[in-house]
Amino acid sequence: MEKSKNNRIKRIVIFSIMFVAAGGIAFFGSILNQPGTDSLIRNTVMVLTGTGIVIYAYLLSEVTGLFIYRNEGKYVKFAVVYLGSLAAAVFFPMLPVTGWPFLAIFVFLGVFSNGITGMAAGSVCLLLAVNFTGGDMTVFWLYFISGLAGILMFCNLNDDFLVGLPVVVSLLVLILCLTANVVLFSKEQLALEQYTIPAVNVIVCCILLLIILKAFSSSVIHKDQEKYMEINDPECPLLVQLKNLSKDEYYHAIHTAYLGDRIAKRLQLDASAVKACGYYHRIGKLKGENSWENVSAICDEYHFPAKTKRILKEYVDGSEKVVSSETIVVLFADCIVSSILYLFEKDPKAQLDYGQLIDTVFKKKLETDELWENQISLAQLYEMKKIFVEEKLYYDFLR
């Protein structure tokens, strides 16, 4: 409750500053580019209204979960990106209109929020720049359509980070729009020189897109990579604490993580998150009981990636619904490891029929409502069972 209240206060403060700063940028931009009381009032009011819409779009996206790669909650980052783009738009009228890099601006705003928020924010920046040059709607449509194409091309970025085709398509749309709206309507006879500034614009946008996507990759998509390398090391200090507390718990975690990792890779799931959850699904015991409160406190203390914490919550918190495929992988890996360890504890020399044991575990799980309404398919469950059976030789290490 306290955390939610603090988050709400943080959001109000940041967006209030963003709103006022956007008005200030429009005000001083108007003094620089378009002096006159009427223009100054119009530009300031339009930017403030547009900024209000951008804030609403951001908050609506946060409620509906429409963010690209979980950008929700990054209020400061988005405010900086938006205000920086708006400030850049103030100086674009000093360039020829064919040289405005708005494609990069739209993509920049889109990848650090989502499609609808990026489109709204990019349109406000574009509207301000167009107003400063006399309100030519041809210029507005040129950059709005190319910017919209850029946002759509990059609205589904994921771990694979396949950006080659989206970059090419976005630049081709920009070239097409520049040619149709500017070059063809030039009063001079068509010549190669007329393409010089548009060509420079395309090159600059290409370079900016690559820089933006690199920044997005390192700060958003792969930001957890380093953390996973740390916590997925069997000699991680947190796991060493677990080992000192109980060697049985430690080795149970090692085996669960190994099997979970193998299955997640074969099913093309988030293997790093599954492995981490295999290691830490009982880590609450360091604080006594393996309750979600204890697990959550450790996750926060050691800054676990958000996805890992979410999977652990589904697994540990009895009131939480199991939804993600990764949680189910951890669930089965833990259950099979627990079953084998239990049988070996009863009889260390027992010759187990692993295939039958795995078949029994799957039958019992499928008979419960634990696997209802989640993201895993029957084909994935079948493949998972097959992989568990293939690991027969590994199970002898559990003796």
Give me the DSSP letters along 45-111: HHHHHHHHHHHHHHHHHHHHT--TTS-TT-HHHHHHHHHHHHHHHHHGGGS-GGG--HHHHHHHHHH
Length of the chain: 399
Confidence at residue 190, expressed as pLDDT on a 0 to 100 scale: 57
CB 113 within 8 A of CB 58: yes
The string of pLDDT tens digits covering residues 55-98 is 999 888 877 766 666 666 678 888 999 999 999 999 998 888 88
Tell me how far apart the alpha carbons of residues 335 and 339 are, in angstroms, rounded to a whole number: 6
Task: Tell me which CATH code domain 225-398 carries.
Answer: 1.10.3210
Q: What is the pLDDT of residues 336-395, one digit of tens each?
A: 999 988 888 888 787 888 889 888 888 888 777 666 777 777 888 888 889 888 888 888
Q: Residue 48 and residue 54: Cα distance in Å, rounded?
A: 10
Nearest-CA neighbor of 147 among 87, 91, 95, 102? 102
User: How many other C-beta atoms are found inside a 10 Å radius of the C-beta of residue 133?
Assistant: 17
Tell which phi-psi region holds residue 39, choosing left (phi > 0), alpha (psi between -120 and 50) or beta.
Answer: alpha
- Do the beta carbons of residue 157 and residue 221 sit within 8 Å? yes
Which backbone phi and psi does 376 adopt, to 5 degrees? Answer: -85, 145
pLDDT at 161: 63
> How far apart are the C-alpha atoms of 108 and 116, rounded to whole Å?
13
Cα dihedral 351→355→356→357 (10° resolution):
70
List the one residue out of 115, 327, 67 whose CA is nearest residue 221: 67
For the chain, the domains span: 2-221, 225-398
Low-confidence ranges of the chain (pLDDT < 50): none
Predicted local distance difference test score (pLDDT) of residue 91: 92
Both tokens of 98, joined, read 């064919």
Q: Give the predicted TM-score (pTM) of the model.
A: 0.65
At how many degrees (to 10) do helices 137-153 and 102-111 cross? 40
pLDDT reported for residue 21: 94
